[in-house]
């Protein structure tokens, strides 16, 4: 049983130290005590502490670097890794600084890191799109790794298939901007409805609406004849709701 600790009495140095320890536990797939990391993020985002933000930047720079180098397009862009690391943290900061209460919508360190990973991949993707790098078409692992919904559906996308055709077909099925947001967040990054809502809360009334739109959209995908005919044995779906 965890001891009750008044986190407000801890210095930022102490919080950063404990957050580093707990993050290492998370990486080792052990149960972390996430209170220290959340308090560090709270001081950076809600209280505007530059010191706390600097600690967060130092703490997760290595992980963001790893995510950047793993992106399929990184090998063909003309910027170094530091550029995308800085862009990822800038996106993360901008998202929360516009609405500090957004932090309360996350209830786990995993969710925060997944959001930071999304910012990282988005930074590379946007650079590619702006630069119009030739020959980059992505892969399913990069663009649309999972269509998730239930145990009765197939559950995996063959990573050797090029993403362009399937992704374009999915976009043809999309009818609204809300569905497009869900397609990118849910399909490309395996985000849960509550994470999609935290990502684009201005586009939805609540998490319930995200879940309802997602369910309806997946139902349309399941009924799509071209999808079933061309990609039936390439799709594996799992429930990540």
Q: How far apart are CA 69 and CA 80, in angstroms?
A: 10
- Assigned domain for 56 exists: yes
The parts of the chain modelled with pLDDT lower than 50 are: 1-2, 133-163, 233-234, 236-239
In a domain, 55, yes or no: yes
State pLDDT tens for residues 26-56.
888 889 999 999 999 999 999 999 999 999 9
Please give the tally of structural domains in the chain: 2
Residue ranges in 28-80 assigned as alpha helix (H) = 35-45, 50-70
CA 171 to chain centre: 19
H or E segment at 167?
helix 163-173
Do 166 and 116 sit in the same domain of this protein?
no
Q: Are residues 14 and 79 in the same domain?
A: yes
100 and 156 fall within a common domain = no
pLDDT at site 166:
65
Instruction: Say what the pLDDT of residue 151 is.
Output: 36
> Do the domain assignments include residue 241?
no
Instruction: Report the alpha-carbon distance of residue 79 to residue 124 in Å, rounded.
Output: 10
**126 plus 202 within the same structural domain:** no
119 and 14 in one domain?
A: yes
Residue 36 DSSP class? H
Domain around 127: 7-131
In a domain, 240, yes or no: no
Do 228 and 158 lie in one domain? The reply is: yes
Same domain as 113, residue 35: yes
Q: Would residue 43 count as lying in a domain?
A: yes
Measured distance CA(80)–CA(181) in Å, rounded: 28
Report yes or no: 37 and 103 within 8 Å, Cβ to Cβ.
no
- Judge whether 173 lies within some domain: yes
């Amino acid at each position: 049983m965890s001891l009750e600790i008044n986190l407000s009495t801890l210095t930022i140095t102490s919080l950063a130290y404990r957050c580093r320890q707990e993050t290492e536990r998370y990486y080792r797939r052990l149960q972390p005590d996430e209170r220290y990391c959340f308090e560090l993020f709270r001081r950076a985002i809600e209280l505007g502490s530059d010191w706390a933000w600097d600690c967060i930047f130092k703490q997760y720079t290595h992980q963001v670097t790893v995510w950047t180098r793993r992106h399929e397009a990184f090998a063909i862009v003309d910027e170094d890794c530091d550029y995308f690391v800085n862009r990822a943290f800038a996106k993360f900061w901008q998202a929360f600084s516009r609405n500090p209460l957004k932090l309360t919508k996350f209830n786990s360190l995993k969710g925060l890191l997944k959001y930071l990973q999304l910012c990282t991949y988005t930074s590379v993707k946007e650079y590619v799109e702006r630069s119009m790098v030739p020959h980059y078409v992505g892969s399913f692992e990069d663009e649309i790794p999972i269509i998730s919904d239930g145990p009765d559906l197939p559950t995996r996308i063959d990573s050797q298939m090029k993403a362009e055709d399937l992704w374009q077909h999915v976009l043809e099925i999309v009818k609204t901007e809300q569905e497009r947001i869900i397609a990118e967040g849910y399909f490309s990054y395996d985000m849960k409805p509550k994470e999609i809502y935290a990502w684009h809360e201005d586009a939805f009334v609540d998490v319930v609406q995200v879940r309802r739109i997602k369910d309806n959209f997946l139902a349309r995908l399941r009924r799509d004849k071209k999808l079933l005919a061309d990609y039936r044995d390439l799709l594996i779906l799992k429930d990540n709701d």
